[in-house]
Amino acid sequence: MPTPAGPPAAPEDPTRALELALEEARGRAVRALEPVMPLLVDLGRVFERAGFELSLVGGPVRDAFLGRRSADLDFTTDARPDDTVRLLRAWGDAHWEVGRDFGTIGARKGDVVVEVTTYRSESYDPASRKPEVSYGDDLVGDLSRRDFTVNAMALRLPSLDFADPHDGLTDLAAGLLRTPGTAERSFSDDPLRMMRAARFAAQLRVRVAPEVVAAMAAMADRIAIVSAERVRTELEKLLVAADPVAGLRLLVETGLAEHVLPELPALQLEIDEHHRHKDVYEHSLTVLQQAIDLEDAPGAQGPEAVPGPDLLLRLAALLHDVGKPRTRRFEEGGGVSFHHHEVVGAKMVAKRLKALRFDGDTVKAVARLTELHLRFHGYGDGEWTDSAVRRYVTDAGPLLGRLHKLTRSDCTTRNARKAKRLSAAYDDLEARIARLREQEELDSIRPDLDGTQIMALLGIGPSRTVGRAYQHLLGLRMERGPLGPQEAERELRAWWAQQPESRPAEPAEPAEPAGS
């Protein structure tokens, strides 16, 4: 028989709860580091025999306590770069010096990549985008200059002594993000750390300490001295994290977003015409979260699979309505309209992503998704022709899977009947796409005749006329589906007969004799 339940347990002592959390974290760290422990000890002995200190530090230590294994291993040492190069060259299978100016030397041994950095201090001159680097000789001093306490922990090698002068493990167990010294000093040393605070809120799901938030708000304009490339990297990491909404809220609340992504806070004052219970800012964050929930499992395959985390989908979900502030119009009767906000928004998205130094493919893809995100709303009750469905697929191209998820996530109405109707309509559209895909090569729609065939049939060489003929046949393919070579040839010849190039030039009249 089951044992009867006892009286309700007394509330757990917070101190004891923290002790248990610390104990669990230590156990996770041992298990996470076990596979690489022989390598850690071996490398530590190499530096020790040469008279230098070496410690595993930063993210790999933090991740170990979270039960995660880091792909790269970061170390810190009192050895100067010349000595580090000499030791790693002898120890590893390969080494590189790309980060030498910052005191960092990389190496690979087998499948393991390591980076060893001399104890250092980074700081920015108020007018410079590049950090100034000076070297130190003490591990505790090096840790005190790191961004956050959860990254200011180290494992001394080869002794395996744990160094945690700022109680980073306690903060990690408590889910709190603090700086080793004052937040103002930390952010003055490197303003990008303010972006990292938001990123860690998204990645680690930690609470950012009030004094850190206050410093971010007070110093937000300092982010302007950091290069766009570094800001973009942090924004990318934030967006593909477990909880990007938390990080984005922090950027907006502290004013950082005004400097790095001003289109986002600009949405706060706008009323969404479909969801008047919330502004467009809240709507956009909801769409982002719903898009994340719709992402497919990592490694998912298929013509429309979108394995998560997917940066393109998340960027499009966040930015799809940025054109609304510029297109808002107040209508008679109290209504609000945002006509063509998808077109305006696509241009704004492209401009912002270019400013953040995103690559061209990302810029084009996110702008295109923004431009197309309202296209489905013309579908109505399944009244599109097959031609319209073909154009929808062709216009989306390889972005079709993301467009499906973006469109579905854009429904944030609290009206259950309306939400159900929209979902059913999109189910129907996807079913029609699937049927057409079975019947036709829908993913690569092209005319029934290619450029070479067009030139041979019309007896012409490469020219703009060939392109016009190709587009004419492509339009017919969209409207009527596959024509077949014979029907396509008839249509091509009929089109050609109407073109001025097909008619022979009229002979010029002979010139009149001089003096006549």
Q: Using one digit for the tens of pLDDT, what is the confidence trace for 251-278?
A: 999 999 999 999 999 998 645 444 444 5
Fold of 175-261: Hydrophobic Seed Protein (1.10.110)
Please give the average per-residue pLDDT across 132-154, as a whole number.
90
DSSP-derived secondary structure letter, 16: H
In this prediction, residue 470 has a pLDDT band, given cuts at 50, 70 and 90, of: confident
Contact 99, 105 (CB under 8 A): yes
Please give the average per-residue pLDDT across 417-439, as a whole number.
84
pLDDT digits (tens, 9 = 90+) for 447-463: 778 888 888 888 888 88
**CATH architecture assignment, domain 16-168:** 2-Layer Sandwich (3.30)
Contact 345, 320 (CB under 8 A): yes
pLDDT digits (tens, 9 = 90+) for 291-347: 999 999 998 988 889 999 999 999 999 999 999 988 888 777 767 778 889 999 999
In this prediction, residue 511 has a pLDDT band, given cuts at 50, 70 and 90, of: low
In this prediction, residue 178 has a pLDDT band, given cuts at 50, 70 and 90, of: very high
Please give the average per-residue pLDDT across 72-81, as a whole number.
95
| Domain ranges, ordered by start, for the chain | 16-168, 175-261, 267-443, 447-499
Distance of CA 487 to the CA centre of its chain: 46
H/E run at residue 57: strand 54-57
What span, in angstroms and rounded, lies between the C-alpha atoms of 435 and 244?
36
What span, in angstroms and rounded, lies between the C-alpha atoms of 298 and 282?
28
Please give the average per-residue pLDDT across 384-403, as a whole number.
88
DSSP-derived secondary structure letter, 375: G
**pLDDT above 60 for 2:** no
SS3 113: strand
pTM of the complete model beyond 0.85 = no
